[in-house]
Structure 1
Amino acid sequence: MATLCCRTTSFLFTILLTAASIISTSYSSAASLDGEIIWGASVDDATQSFSWNVSWGIVYLLGKPKQVLLINGQFPGPQINTITNVNLQINVFNSITEPLLFTWNGIYQRRTSWQDGVLGTNCPIMPGQNFTYLFQVKDQVGSYFYFPTTGFLKAAGGYGGLQVDNRVIIPLPYKTPDGEVTILIGDWYTANHTDLQGSLDAGRSLGLPDGILINGRGPFGSYITLDPGKTYRLRISNVGISTSLNFRIAGHSLTVVESEGAHTKQLTLANLDVHVGQSYAVLVTLNQIPGEYYMVATSRFTSTVVSGIAVLHYSNSQSKVSGPLPSGPTTEIDYSVTQARAITWNLTANAARPNPQGSFHYGMINVTETAVIEGAVTMMNGKLRYAANSVSYVNPPTPLKLADYFNLGGVFSLNYPRFPTGGSSFLGTAVLPTTFRGFLELVFQNDEDIVQSWHIDGYVAFVVAIDGGRWSSASRAEYNLVDALPRSTIQVYPHAWTAVLLELDNAGMWNLRSQLWERQYLGEQLYFKVPNPDGSIRNEAPIPSNVLLCGVAVGQHP
């Protein structure tokens, strides 16, 4: 048994619906849209269909009301549970007053950046309209989440868990758990997202969050009942916008078994750092005296520690939680770095296919191109901005993907600098060109006092090294070329660098962004183009028949 409920005595949670909820989930045997077969999904695999209505609602959390995004009347949004190789068809109705897009954090959408759900690849769904996403969770098994990408809507919720399970013919590298629970942890600002966005537009930083939510609830709001003696898989995602978090359960150990689709060597920890945008799966065995135990997520590397508190309740207990919260790590960076280095790839485990993960020997592939990305704070016209390699990204009215497909000039340039320039920052829409089936060495350099978090859409990358100081070619001697953890969201510690390797085999226009949403919103992102050299549909799916057109692409014919 696994139940989640809310203690109404600890806070008031009210949802005011502004549009009718539409809920629909179904399966079919072919990937289609209005009867038409759609490329980017497989007609040989089942299609799982959802219908979402996105509306406004009011929640009372941390003592204040706030306007949030509801999906089918829910906050957080509905959980997506699927199986590897299934096609997901998600029809999104926009019943709010702002343009809307969703992205599927960590799902690499093989051959179809058309479904990525960011402004560089998709026109937004305008108020009163709908759009159907259709993509395949191809050869993926793991823990992920989704969230809105337009404007500053991410600060208004709209997020939810997305889990991809293994097919029964592919065994897990550990005993099948007795059950599982999705744990969405994230920082929370009590101000409405429009006020937060207004502060950024005025050139002011947001500062520290007001609190931490666990599954969309404030302190003691999330109440999780599980059975004694059983082992559960917890899928933990940091869905916040600014803050690294440490997760722990009083009296219980966490055994890390998966991260963003990669089975890890099993590592038992007392607590786990989860940086913004990252996801893990851990095993927890209820082997303590029946009772109630604190489940805590606390901010890391902040001047003031902010906490989120939930309760783990043994189903056979009548006692109530009490006593001090379980202590977590200090603000020392070394603790987090040591833990991150200890989480490595399980080379003997099967992935989505019945062959060991380690059969792909990434360390034996020659690097063909290198890029070093350095994020930075800057000021422009007296206002706060962020930049990467001196370019502070600006979203054009026309998505880059459409401009590239229709050969529309003047939207972007293919001259993004591959290395930090050291010069003054400037506004621009530059794309990093790459080579199809090249092997990219990508280094994130951080000379600031904060922990940065970067996300690569469309890919998982092998995190081969984390170290302090400045990266140089001599740093390659430190690379782990055997069992580095593959993931899509990468933390970079203060005054340090992180190096990743990735094979450029997924053609498309892909977003590379800061997961710290203030920084992303104010320019710390870019796109990289992986070309389809011969235009073959084997390399990249054709433009969808239901594609939305905007900007100078209006009037073009797919």
Structure 2
Amino acid sequence: MSLIHLLLGALALLRCSVTVKGESPYKFYTWTVTYGIISPLGVPQQVILINGQFPGPKLDVVTNDNIILNLINKLDQPFLLTWNGIKQRKNSWQDGVLGTNCPIQPNSNFTYKFQTKDQIGTYNYFPSTAFHKAAGGFGAINVYARPGIPIPYPLPVADFTLLIGDWFKTNHKTLQQRLDSGGTLPFPDGLLINGQTQTTITGDKGKTYMLRISNVGLSSSFNFRIQGHKMIVVEVEGSHVSQNPYESLDIHVGQSLSVLVTLDQSPKDYYIVASTRFVSSKLSVTGLLRYSNSDVSASGDPPALPPGELVWSMRQARSFKWNLTANAARPNPQGSYHYGLISVTKSFVFSNSAPLINGKQRYAVNGVSYVNSETPLKLADYFGISGVFSTSAIQSFPSNSAATVATSVVQTSLHDFLEIVFQNNEKSMQSWHLDGYDFWVVGFGSGQWTPEKRQLYNRADALTRHTTQVYPNSWTTILVSLDNQGMWNMRSAIWERQYSGQQFYMKVGNPVQSLANEYNPPDNLLLCGKAVGRHV
């Protein structure tokens, strides 16, 4: 036998051994975070770049990929990235928020190690430290299905990522100083699509494309529409949904979804528009859907906003349904998990508010405004460091007590099944996010929630997602199955409110420590605060 045949045989055996082992692929990245000067709204300003890019690099990965990402901080402030919607199964050590991780100091690095375990869908990442999110540093995470796992729609020709959000011309440090001094943010100066005031998507007539749309802004809901074309929503934050056509879509802060668009009109350019919602002053950003081999410009007026706001938007939100017969990342149907038949073990009503505390504007949950600790809560819990956080500050239901500040943790247990009502008695739109999980959004309603509202819950085919809107003077109910041990951030996705206290952490605990439930700390764990000098 020739040498070449021996080598080929050895390679074949090696491939087989990798397949038998079954370990998911590893993907390695090195990202350097710097400042740069660009002009997103026509005025030069300092932004945060990742590898020189604004927005940052796109993470295109596959279900169960292992991500090894070395992040080098070249800013003049400590820095973290969080992976919005990535569940970090059994691994809140990698969540990238101040309650779980020490920030990466200037001129140093940290290597994130996490897995897109049992996930598909459209997500994004962004800075969680200081007010860096107002300077950029955000980017897309697209998680594709593994080969051989069916998807419940024809494979699109290509997909396009659209990161849309409000933007300020003011420097992020100046905005942070306004909040630190007890003020509020001004109205945003504009909207951006992929870091610009315009974008063009080009495709062929008769072909179908996927648009992956995320609201990466700080404060503004927006409505998205394409002139002359309907959109079929197929995926919302990892859930495959019943495929209904829409002429426009409300997308709230922190939310993501995927739509299919078929180029079935006369070849020319068509307007793409995103416009703010639920605010008195309207902002819009316009792009183009371009048919290839056509030089006919867009004509007519850009598509208008749909009539009304709250009633229209709430009706649309209720129209999103879980596709019960489709699978997600695993081959079993989503509807095989009968969430509506599970008994609730704990119920909470979390009411947001905007109190003045010591003369400064703060935001609170059940009257408690969160303050960060120098010691991450996850480290304090792991090392048994007392006095870092309180598990008694936030009560399960609102009260009329005076607003206070605390580093608040809500204590829960692994395998609890929670009912959480978000009560919004303010006139502004709210958006709530939970790290480490997705949840069933089972109810929306106006006014005050009461136990009788449970009769209105969708207990059959509510979709799962990681971020839900709560309409002005309204309530939203979610159900959560606590199957992911760790310390998880529940926060307002509206970044001014998050920064000034509308957040807390949920400890999902188990008295029996087991690697089957939670991983050990990583070898490169950063230590800070009272955890300095401790040993893993």
**1-side partners of 2:157 and 2:25: how far apart?**
26
Residue number in structure 1 paired with 2:12: none
Residue number in structure 2 paired with 1:238: 215
Q: Is 1:163 aligned to 2:154, yes or no?
A: no
Residue number in structure 1 paired with 2:125: 146
- Of 83, 97, 100 in structure 2, the residue corresponding to residue 104 of structure 1 is 83
**1-side partners of 2:192 and 2:401: how far apart?**
40
Q: Is 1:462 aligned to 2:443, yes or no?
A: no
**1-side partners of 2:41 and 2:24: how far apart?**
44
Amino acid at match of 2:31: W
**2-side partners of 1:405 and 1:378: how far apart?**
33
Q: Is 1:528 aligned to 2:506, yes or no?
A: yes
Amino acid at match of 1:87: N
TM-score (structure 2 length as normaliser): 0.95
- SS across alignment from 1:476: helix
**1-side partners of 2:514 and 2:386: how far apart?**
23
Identity %: 54
Residue number in structure 2 paired with 1:25: none
**2-side partners of 1:207 and 1:79: how far apart?**
30
Q: Is 1:91 aligned to 2:70, yes or no?
A: yes
**Alpha-carbon distance, 1:417 to partner:** 1.2
| Mapped contact 1:100–1:148 kept (Cα < 8 A) | yes
- SS across alignment from 1:198: helix
Runs of at least 4 residues of structure 1 off by over 4 A?
Answer: none
- Stretches of structure 1 lacking an aligned partner (at least 5 in a row): 1-28, 30-41
- Stretches of structure 2 lacking an aligned partner (at least 5 in a row): 1-14, 16-20
Q: Is 1:401 aligned to 2:358, yes or no?
A: no
Larger deviation, residues 284-293 vs 393-402: 284-293
| Mapped contact 1:300–1:331 kept (Cα < 8 A) | no
Structure with larger Rg: 2
Q: Which has the higher helix share?
A: 2
TM-score (structure 1 length as normaliser): 0.91
Residue number in structure 1 paired with 2:271: 294
**2-side partners of 1:223 and 1:45: how far apart?**
36
Q: Write the mapping of 1:39-54 to structure 2, written as runs, cut at 5 A.
A: 44-54=23-33
- SS across alignment from 1:266: coil
**Alpha-carbon distance, 1:277 to partner:** 0.2
**2-side partners of 1:300 and 1:430: how far apart?**
32
**1-side partners of 2:486 and 2:136: how far apart?**
28
- Aligned-residue Cα RMSD (Å) equals 1.2
Residue number in structure 1 paired with 2:113: 134
Residue number in structure 2 paired with 1:225: 202
Residue number in structure 2 paired with 1:188: 167
**Alpha-carbon distance, 1:222 to partner:** 1.4
**2-side partners of 1:293 and 1:203: how far apart?**
44
| Mapped contact 1:448–1:495 kept (Cα < 8 A) | yes
**2-side partners of 1:226 and 1:295: how far apart?**
14
**1-side partners of 2:143 and 2:177: how far apart?**
37
| Mapped contact 2:32–2:71 kept (Cα < 8 A) | yes
Residue by residue over 1:39-89, the C-alpha shift from the partner in whole angstroms, topping out at 9 and shown as x without a partner, is xxx982111111100100111122211111101000000110011011111
| Mapped contact 2:414–2:510 kept (Cα < 8 A) | yes
**Alpha-carbon distance, 1:224 to partner:** 2.0
**2-side partners of 1:240 and 1:174: how far apart?**
29
Amino acid at match of 1:308: V
**2-side partners of 1:74 and 1:322: how far apart?**
33
What is the aligned residue count?
516
Residue number in structure 1 paired with 2:48: 69
| Mapped contact 2:85–2:123 kept (Cα < 8 A) | yes
- SS across alignment from 1:197: helix
Residue number in structure 1 paired with 2:521: 543
- SS across alignment from 2:498: helix
**1-side partners of 2:130 and 2:67: how far apart?**
25
| Mapped contact 2:224–2:250 kept (Cα < 8 A) | yes
**1-side partners of 2:67 and 2:309: how far apart?**
42
**1-side partners of 2:242 and 2:26: how far apart?**
32
**1-side partners of 2:50 and 2:150: how far apart?**
33
**2-side partners of 1:130 and 1:395: how far apart?**
22
Residue number in structure 1 paired with 2:246: 269
Residue number in structure 2 paired with 1:197: 176
Amino acid at match of 1:518: E
Amino acid at match of 1:174: Y
Residue by residue over 1:316-345, the C-alpha shift from the partner in whole angstroms, topping out at 9 and shown as x without a partner, is 111223432111124520000000000110
Residue number in structure 1 paired with 2:8: none
**1-side partners of 2:22 and 2:171: how far apart?**
43
**2-side partners of 1:228 and 1:76: how far apart?**
29
Residue number in structure 2 paired with 1:506: 484
Rate the CA distance shift 1:43–1:396 in 2: closer, same or farther, 3 A: farther
**Alpha-carbon distance, 1:533 to partner:** 2.7
Residue by residue over 1:485-515, the C-alpha shift from the partner in whole angstroms, topping out at 9 and shown as x without a partner, is 1011010001110000011110000000000
**2-side partners of 1:376 and 1:461: how far apart?**
23
Residue number in structure 1 paired with 2:5: none
**2-side partners of 1:74 and 1:323: how far apart?**
34
**2-side partners of 1:224 and 1:194: how far apart?**
34
Amino acid at match of 1:462: W
**Alpha-carbon distance, 1:176 to partner:** 0.7
**2-side partners of 1:258 and 1:55: how far apart?**
33
| Mapped contact 2:277–2:309 kept (Cα < 8 A) | no
- Of 335, 338, 344 in structure 1, the residue corresponding to residue 312 of structure 2 is 335
**Alpha-carbon distance, 1:359 to partner:** 0.5
- SS across alignment from 1:120: coil
**2-side partners of 1:174 and 1:146: how far apart?**
26
**2-side partners of 1:204 and 1:495: how far apart?**
23
**Alpha-carbon distance, 1:473 to partner:** 1.4
- Of 61, 68, 73 in structure 2, the residue corresponding to residue 82 of structure 1 is 61
| Mapped contact 1:248–1:297 kept (Cα < 8 A) | yes
Residue number in structure 1 paired with 2:469: 491
- Of 286, 289, 293 in structure 2, the residue corresponding to residue 309 of structure 1 is 286
**1-side partners of 2:502 and 2:272: how far apart?**
33
Larger deviation, residues 335-344 vs 374-383: 374-383
Amino acid at match of 2:135: A
Q: Is 1:177 aligned to 2:174, yes or no?
A: no
- SS across alignment from 2:426: coil
Residue number in structure 2 paired with 1:207: 186
Amino acid at match of 2:139: G
Amino acid at match of 1:125: I
Q: Is 1:446 aligned to 2:412, yes or no?
A: no
